[in-house]
Amino acid sequence: MRTDTIVILGDKVYSNLFRVRKEALTYLYPEWDSLVANSSVATWFQTPEAYDFYCSLPQSMIPFLVAVMSEQDEATTDSGLRRFATCGLEETVTGSDGIHTVSLLTKESIHTSHTIKGLIVGYITRESSTIKQILTRRAIIIGGALLANDISTGELTMLLTSTRDLLSSRSIYVELRNFNDYSAWKDVFAESGFRYVPHLNFHVDCSSHEVIDANLGKSRKRDIRVSLRDGATIIEKPTLEQVKDYYQILKHLYTTKVHTPLFDFDFFETLYQQPSAHFLLVAYQDKIIGGTVCVELKNRVLYEWFVCGQDGWYKNIYPSELATYAGLQFAANSGCTVFDMMGAGSPAQHYGVRDFKAKFGGALVENGRFSFICHPLLYKIGEVGVKLLKTLKL
């Protein structure tokens, strides 16, 4: 029995590499899908669809994938651990016999009897501004690691250290944004250098429409009722032109209030084409005035990735509230039992968005985040630099 780790990192010539990597990764997909189906900590963001989506956006991000596999190869006498790191047209293999280079993920380096025990999909951010890229390059792993329920301490340690080693020279910090409970593995994360950071979230029960309505706050029920009564409507299958209108509202929100980077429209146009993505837009007087963008882990969870609305623009119309309510209803209709609001801030800080989300009746959970600071000095400089850039509106 041997444990191997495959590591894949996109780069500037990524479009030329993807066809090769895609062919080599095809053998992983059935096993990967099985892990998603059976893992208690699965999310859409760690699926093959999410990885392929990240890979289609080389101008916005540098995708990466790390997979730990438990493999049985009777013909192999090496019982040590190996790491397969793919960062170009060659593959660097580290094993008990030293370091050497072989061709990119050839059949000879893939064993047919294998089980994926853990997998991490994420991306390194790209910024249009060189200054921002230097100060803010970060590796983001949305949803947290995808782990087999019986993953061993050694296998998880290998997954985390391989991820850390891959990203240390390429990002200022690595952040796993957990949407599930990882408390059983918290010590392993800590021993691998990942610090736990408290962070809140809301999980809304969508097991039935009756449950959704029973958990809604009174003010939310009223706002939704009058919005629909006075002419607001939900568009479940908008046109791309309507998505463009929505994007302008979202961009305005990020520019004036959120003050964090927002992906270019290409990101949303590509997401619009994904089978598990759902754009639920709010229309009023023949105009798009808000909406929510969700992705679905089929029959399990609907994730609210982006939401916005022109609140206060129209009398008795509450687009942001109506958008989230549309997401809740869509979740119930699709067989999803949980609506994940994807974050409610640090428990140590007041966060107005948390107050907004709380009135939809979800359970407040603290699954936190795991953070590894690759370059502490640059991290501190980056914190100051980002504040300065926001002040100067660069």
Residue 383 located in a structural domain: no
168 and 251 part of one domain: no
Asked whether the predicted pLDDT for residue 95 surpasses 50, the reply is: no
123 and 177 part of one domain: yes
Residue 387 located in a structural domain: no
Predicted pLDDT of residue 331: 98
E strands along the chain, which residues?
A: 2-9, 61-71, 82-86, 90-95, 98-103, 114-125, 138-143, 146-147, 173-178, 195-197, 201-205, 233-235, 277-284, 287-297, 301-309, 338-340, 363-365, 369-373
126 and 256 part of one domain: no
Residues 6 or more apart whose CB falls under 8 angstroms from that of 138 comprise 124, 125, 171, 172, 173, 174, 175
Closest CA to 182 of 68, 41, 65: 41
Entry pTM: 0.87
Under the banding of pLDDT at 50, 70 and 90, the label for residue 74 is very low
Compute the average pLDDT of residues 45-66: 94
- Structural tokens at position 202: 């809301």
- Summarize pLDDT for 189-216 with one digit per residue, the tens: 999 999 999 999 999 999 999 999 999 9
Residue 391 located in a structural domain: no
102 and 183 part of one domain: yes
31 and 153 part of one domain: yes
Under the banding of pLDDT at 50, 70 and 90, the label for residue 389 is low
> Where among 137, 168, 197 does a domain terminate?
197
CATH number at residue 327: 3.40.630.30
- Give the strand pairing for 173-178 and 369-373: antiparallel
Distance, in Å, from the CA atom of 68 to the CA atom of 77, rounded to the nearest integer, reads 19
- Structural tokens at position 161: 């250290």
Residue 210 located in a structural domain: yes
179 and 268 part of one domain: no
Predicted pLDDT of residue 98: 33
- Structural tokens at position 151: 């993953």
Question: What is the identity of the amino acid at 267?
Answer: F
Name, of 77-91, 92-106, 309-323, the range with top average pLDDT: 309-323
Domain span at residue 120 reads 2-197
Asked whether the predicted pLDDT for residue 393 surpasses 80, the reply is: no
66 and 213 part of one domain: no
Predicted pLDDT of residue 274: 97
Residue 381 located in a structural domain: no
* Cα separation values, 275 from 60, 278, 305, Å: 21, 8, 15
269 and 161 part of one domain: no
More confident residue, 309 or 257: 309
145 and 207 part of one domain: no
Asked whether the predicted pLDDT for residue 22 surpasses 80, the reply is: no
Q: How many distinct structural domains can be found in the chain?
A: 2
- Summarize pLDDT for 104-161 with one digit per residue, the tens: 333 334 444 578 999 999 999 987 777 777 777 899 999 999 999 999 999 999 999 9
Asked whether the predicted pLDDT for residue 270 surpasses 90, the reply is: yes
128 and 214 part of one domain: no
CB 149 within 8 A of CB 108: no
